[in-house]
A and B are shown apart, each in its own frame.
Chain A
């Protein structure tokens, strides 16, 4: 086994182990940290596949953005350190069965399918090529999805602000036991 293969299996074991701990850990903060390790492992897998730009985007957006957002929301809504209640045994067993049968089904499908790999041609995903094709207006350009997704981001930003905005009357009336403060 070559060094590259050993590195791949190490990264795979790291991703799966951290992911498994992220969905089974009883403490929500630890769960978020395991998710962070799993995402870093996926970024390492992208580096191993030599798509450095995607790996950088993965680290910046997921590790730097989404996980930090999740940790902030944990601090806002939970007492960290408190253990979550364990799921009922029945639900655990059936979820496990669903996952195992799903994996077995996909494993059979993939084993039966013959992929035609093309190892002769080298794969290059330089940032300049990605940028040129993404902003090109020709037939294989991605300028239209690029613009549409920018509108989506704008809409999501405004939507977040509107949803999370404090509405004074609602807040005062909906919290039982609080004194009404009128400014």
Chain B
């Protein structure tokens, strides 16, 4: 189509997903962990759009999945940031190592 095979786009999204995973594993600050999760969600969206465009060009389902994922990601980010700010008020820190009250 554009001269780019589908696999190259999937390699791009795979690399982006594992970059997000690396960030999620190494960071201990809640806001940066949230940013890593956003990167992972975006790599999934790239996959949905690419599969829809290359494999099922006469349908639109991948685009709808992408739209719903973006909506849910926005709601998730808003709730997560509300929780983080509330945690900061009570603990004066947003490091995950400092919030261990619910640890089993």
Contacts and interface: CB of A to CB of B under 8 A. Distances in A.
A139 interface: no
Interface residues of A, number: 86
Contact of A31 (B5, B32, B55): B32
B76 to A, nearest CB: 8
B59 to A, nearest CB: 8
Contact of B19 (A16, A134, A160): A16
A16 B60 contact: no
Interface in B8-40: 8, 10-12, 14-16, 18-23, 25-29, 31-32, 34-36, 38-39
B102 interface: no
B74 A66 contact: yes
Given A92-B26, A118-B55, A149 B72 contact: yes
Nearest to A129: B60
Main secondary structure of the interface of A (DSSP, over half): helix
Describe B's contact surface by its main secondary structure. Answer: helix
B96 interface: no
A49 B86 CA distance: 40
A54 B85 contact: no
Contacts of B64: 130, 133-134, 142, 145
B2 A8 contact: yes
A110 B49 CA distance: 17
Contact of A163 (B54, B67, B82): B82
Given A116-B55, A133-B60, A38 B85 contact: no
Nearest to A162: B82
State which size class the interface on B falls in: 35 or more
Contacts of B100: none
A115 B3 contact: no
B58 A51 contact: no
Given A35-B38, A99-B18, A49 B53 contact: yes
Given A23-B27, A115-B54, A66 B77 contact: yes
A69 B27 CA distance: 19
B5 to A, nearest CB: 8
Interface in A136-183: 140, 142, 145, 149, 152-153, 156-157, 159-160, 163-164, 170-171, 174-175
Interface in A10-29: 12, 15-16, 19-20, 22-24, 28
15 contacts: A8-B4, A12-B12, A22-B39, A35-B39, A48-B2, A54-B63, A57-B70, A94-B25, A99-B18, A110-B7, A118-B55, A118-B57, A164-B82, A164-B86, A174-B89
